[in-house]
């Protein structure tokens, strides 16, 4: 198997906002928090980073800020996905110029395409060669599922290096792994399945929870498997609370409770409902993250 871009936990970093603007002091605090706790990689402007409501200039500025702050200590993966292949390619080229190490490329949404279209989409991005490609499968958000046969075909492309699998369908993930073998790296895109994916030979996770608990998620991807399972089971109620509303609404609320950033999202997202926020607070207290 080719050497994975990273092994362990990559944080799908939130983009902090304050009064409608990107909050760069808070972003710096978030990055320092991740690095101090030994995280293995960072995803900039992925779904959790709210790129769909950011301008192109904001996307560039945030990615550039993260790359410059990290200074090559860990990989920085740029979220480039979209529903227009040519635009994704241009975004990937810009991400490379800004210093990103790879791209996380979600499947097209709304116009969606067929499985043949998915193969053509990812193949075109990979063969352009700007950055290594991590295929991102999250059908609950995009309405489009990458099938095991499609992923197996894409795994033959030299520049397609990994999949972030967030279907939540462990049987499908196992079939993907069976068909792809060790030709690409497998990362869980669902915090709850971090340890199960390790058990079938996965290389780690791209995590939302690690925004507020990077050491926990790093341990879950580096400690012996049985310990990882125990941590995963213990953290399950907190993971569930963090997805009680649309991501990144709950993780922004949780980060604000820790004083890492403001509890601010952009419309059409709205702050977490109070009753759900109280449940999240309770689970954070049980996990020892807050008093």
24 is catalytic: no
Q: What is the CA radius of gyration of the chain?
A: 18
Question: Phi, psi at residue 262, to the nearest 5°?
Answer: -75, 155
Catalytic residue, candidates 91, 96, 164, 252: 164
Q: What confidence tens digit (pLDDT) does each residue in 31-74 have?
A: 999 999 999 999 999 999 999 999 999 999 999 999 999 999 99
Q: What is the pLDDT of residue 2?
A: 78
DSSP letter for each residue of 222-240? HS-HHHHHHHHHHHHHHHH
135 and 146 in contact (C-beta within 8 Å)? yes
164 is catalytic: yes
Report domain extents, the chain.
8-225
Q: What confidence tens digit (pLDDT) does each residue in 129-173 have?
A: 899 999 999 999 999 999 999 999 999 999 999 999 999 999 999
More confident residue, 18 or 2: 18
Whether this model's pTM surpasses 0.95 = yes
Q: Does domain 8-225 have CATH number 3.20.20.70?
A: yes
* Beta-bridge mates of residue 137: 165
Catalytic residue, candidates 136, 177, 187, 252: 136
């Amino acid at each position: 198997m080719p050497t994975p871009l990273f092994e362990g936990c990559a944080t799908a970093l939130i983009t902090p906002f304050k009064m409608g603007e990107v909050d760069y002091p808070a972003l710096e605090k978030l990055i320092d928090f991740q690095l101090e706790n030994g995280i293995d990689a960072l995803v900039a402007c992925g779904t959790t980073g709210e790129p769909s409501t950011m301008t192109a200039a904001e996307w560039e500025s945030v990615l550039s800020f993260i790359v410059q702050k990290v200074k090559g200590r860990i990989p920085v993966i740029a979220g480039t996905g979209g529903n227009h292949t040519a635009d994704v390619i241009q975004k990937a080229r810009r991400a490379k110029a800004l210093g990103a190490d790879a791209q996380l490329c979600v499947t097209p949404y709304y116009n969606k395409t067929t499985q043949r279209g998915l193969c053509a989409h990812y193949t075109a991005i990979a063969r352009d060669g700007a950055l290594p490609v991590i295929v991102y499968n999250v059908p609950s958000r995009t309405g489009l599922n990458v099938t095991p046969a499609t992923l197996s075909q894409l795994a033959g492309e030299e520049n397609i290096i990994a999949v972030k699998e967030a279907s939540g369908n462990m049987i499908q993930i196992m079939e993907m792994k069976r068909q792809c073998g060790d030709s690409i790296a497998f990362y869980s895109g669902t915090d709850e399945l971090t340890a199960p994916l390790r058990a079938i030979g996965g290389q780690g996770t791209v995590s939302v929870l690690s925004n507020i608990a990077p050491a926990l998620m790093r341990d879950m991807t580096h400690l012996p498997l049985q310990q990882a399972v125990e941590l995963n089971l213990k953290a399950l109620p907190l993971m569930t609370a963090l997805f009680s509303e649309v991501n990144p609404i709950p993780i922004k609320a949780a980060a604000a409770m820790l004083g890492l950033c403001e509890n601010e999202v952009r419309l059409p997202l709205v702050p977490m409902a109070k009753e759900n926020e109280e449940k999240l607070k309770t689970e954070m207290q049980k996990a020892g993250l807050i008093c």
